[in-house]
Amino acid sequence: MHVLGIETSCDETGVAIWDSDSGLVWERLFSQIDLHAEYGGVVPELAARDHLQRLARMVEAALKEGPAPDVVAYTAGPGLVGALLVGAALGQSLATGRDIPAIGINHLEAHLLAPLMEPDAPGFPFVALLVSGGHTLLIEARGLGEYKLLGTTLDDAVGEAFDKTASLLDLPYPGGPALAKLAATSEGGRFTLPRPLLNRPGCDFSFSGLKTAALYAVKELAPDDKAGRAALAHDFEDAVVDTLVAKCKRALGMTGLDTLIVAGGVAANQRLRERLYELPDAQVRFPDAALCTDNGAMIAYAGWLRWNAGERRAYDVRARWPLDSLRPPSKEPHDG
Ligand code: KG4
Ligand code: ZN
């Protein structure tokens, strides 16, 4: 059984084929980072147009070089509607043309399931920390489509906080990896930054206060103080990681679970990895760095899991689609 996955929710065009016996057998990924860099963020209209120019050729290559798909899985949301439409339209027409089924996949669920792709990965139940440019979620995952929201951000997403602070430090877009790289060159310890909501119960996050504190700190730095900028990057990363680690620990305690899965673009952060691996009595799993950011493989894989469990829904695209609104797979062909 082969599932062709299509991802176009934001600024990555991803196509992949998942083989139910041997795993990932074909993959291609194109990142539009250079296209959006001069604007300092993703421009929705440009993203959609670029997907349109590239996706058909990538799918053609998959069909020529990979095994024939039995099912098409495309990202139906959440994401940029114009961008999503490109993937959904092509996925659905491909399926119609080849007389095979198409199913719509939730992008967040695909991120959350990505770490399970590895052969020795743990299964349900687990706590998931989903940290990307648009989302900061702590989820109790009991089974496919059985997700309880334990905490989320009250303001900025953690990736957004990394990107905005990086921009304050004049680092190139996307800021997260650039800030992490600069942080690693310093011992830090020069700035006292807040750890918002740490002393409040629950698993919610807030990053806007931390970002404002970083803004004030930047203003006090002399323009040529390179060491100061690196120290600020280090102290900012430390504050973010401290907050994430504390809430993960709390989530594990609240649920009584011992498996923590970390997914999304910020899961590529080395410092976060090191600190979470140190959690006592917890089995912590990160996907391969290449699987942390958006890609087609995670859509193909989530498509396979859902299809295998009976999913038959071809969802329409949607900008918002909260993870905790998902349900276990359904054999109903339409989403109503
Ligand atoms: O999941 P993702 O590729 O895209 C979505 O937002 O869906 O996540 C991208 C985010 C960006 O904010 C980027 O700056 C951040 O992940 N990121 C990082 C690192 N690598 C990517 N943040 C901190 N440290 C990193 N090493
Ligand atoms: Zn994503």
Residue pLDDT, tens place only, 120-173: 899 999 999 999 988 999 999 999 999 999 999 999 999 999 999 999 999 998
Domain for residue 336, yes or no? no
Its sign, for the CA torsion 82, 315, 100, 143, is positive
Average pLDDT over residues 73-82: 97
- Predicted confidence at residue 292, as pLDDT, reads 87
* The pLDDT value given to residue 164: 94
Pairing, β 146-152 against β 126-131: unpaired
Instruction: Evaluate: CB of 264 within 6 angstroms of ligand 1.
Output: yes
- Give the pLDDT mean for 249-264: 96
Is the pLDDT confidence value at 332 over 80?
no
State the pLDDT confidence band at 314, using cuts at 50, 70 and 90: confident
> Quick one: which atom of ligand 1 is closest to the CA of 163?
14
Residue 333 — pLDDT band, cuts 50, 70, 90? Answer: low
For ligand 1, atom 24: residue with the closest CA: 269
Answer yes or no: is pLDDT of 117 > 70. yes
**Cα dist. 286→58, 116, 222, 269 in Å?**
28, 9, 38, 10
Among 79, 133, 130, 86, CA closest to 107? 79
The one-letter code for the residue type at 26 is W
Q: Is the pLDDT of residue 336 over 50?
A: no
- Whether ligand 1 lies within 6 angstroms of the CB of 125 is answered as no
Are 73 and 130 found together in one domain? Answer: no
**189 and 275 fall within a common domain:** yes
DSSP class of residue 67?
P
User: 51 near 13, Cβ under 8 Å?
Assistant: yes
* Same domain assignment for residues 195 and 317: no
Pair (278, 320) in one structural domain: no
Specify the amino acid at residue 268.
A
pLDDT score for 299: 98
Answer yes or no: is the C-beta of 10 below 6 A from any ligand 1 atom: yes
Q: Is residue 333 part of a domain?
A: no
State in Å: Cα 166 to ligand 1 middle.
12
The verdict on the CB of residue 145 being under 6 Å from ligand 1 is: no
- Which ligand sits nearest to residue 105's alpha carbon? 2
- Cβ–ligand 1 distance for 136 under 6 Å, the answer no
User: Do 110 and 246 belong to one domain?
Assistant: no
pTM for the predicted model, two decimal places: 0.92
Q: How many domains is the chain partitioned into structurally?
A: 2
Which of 31-35, 164-168, 184-188, 196-200 comes out lowest in average pLDDT?
196-200
Q: Whose CA is nearest to atom 10 of ligand 1?
A: 133
Q: pLDDT tens digit string along 170-183?
A: 999 889 999 999 99
Helix, strand, coil % in the chain, rounded to nearest 5 = 45, 20, 35
Domain annotation covers residue 137: yes
Q: Which residue has the CA at smallest separation from atom 6 of ligand 1?
A: 133
Q: Is residue 12 part of a domain?
A: yes
Ligand nearest to C-alpha 110: 2
pLDDT at 87: 98
Would you say residue 332 lies in a domain? no
Q: How far is CA 105 from the centre of its chain?
A: 14
Q: Give the pLDDT band (50/70/90) at residue 199.
A: confident
Q: Order of strands, edge to edge, in the sheet holding 283-285?
A: 146-152, 136-143, 126-131, 259-263, 283-285
Do 162 and 22 reside in the same domain of the chain? no
For residue 215, which of 158, 156, 165, 163 has the smallest C-alpha distance? 165
CA distance 262 to 273: 9
**CATH number, residue 74:** 3.30.420.40
Same-domain status, 215 and 232: yes
Flag whether 54 is in a domain: yes
Residue 136 covered by a domain: yes
Asked whether the beta carbons of 331 and 312 are under 8 A apart, the reply is: yes
293 CB near ligand 1 (under 6 Å) = yes
- Do 56 and 76 reside in the same domain of the chain? yes
Rounded mean pLDDT of the chain?
95
User: 166 is in which domain, residue-wise?
Assistant: 123-287
**244 vs 196, residue with greater confidence:** 244
**Do residues 203 and 238 share a domain?**
yes
Q: How many helices (H) and strands (E) does the chain have?
A: 11, 10
Nearest alpha-carbon partner for 301 in 13, 8, 25? 25
14 close to ligand 1 (CB < 6 Angstrom): no
Ligand 1 close to Cβ of residue 294 (< 6 A):
yes
Q: Are residues 64 and 169 in the same domain?
A: no
Q: What is the reported pLDDT for 290?
A: 85
For the beta carbon of residue 164, count every other beta carbon within 10 angstroms: 18
pLDDT recorded at residue 334: 56
Asked, for residue 6, whether it belongs to a domain, the answer is yes
Task: Check whether residue 147 and residue 232 sit in a common domain.
Answer: yes
Pair (174, 261) in one structural domain: yes
Centre of ligand 2 from the C-alpha of residue 97, in Å: 29
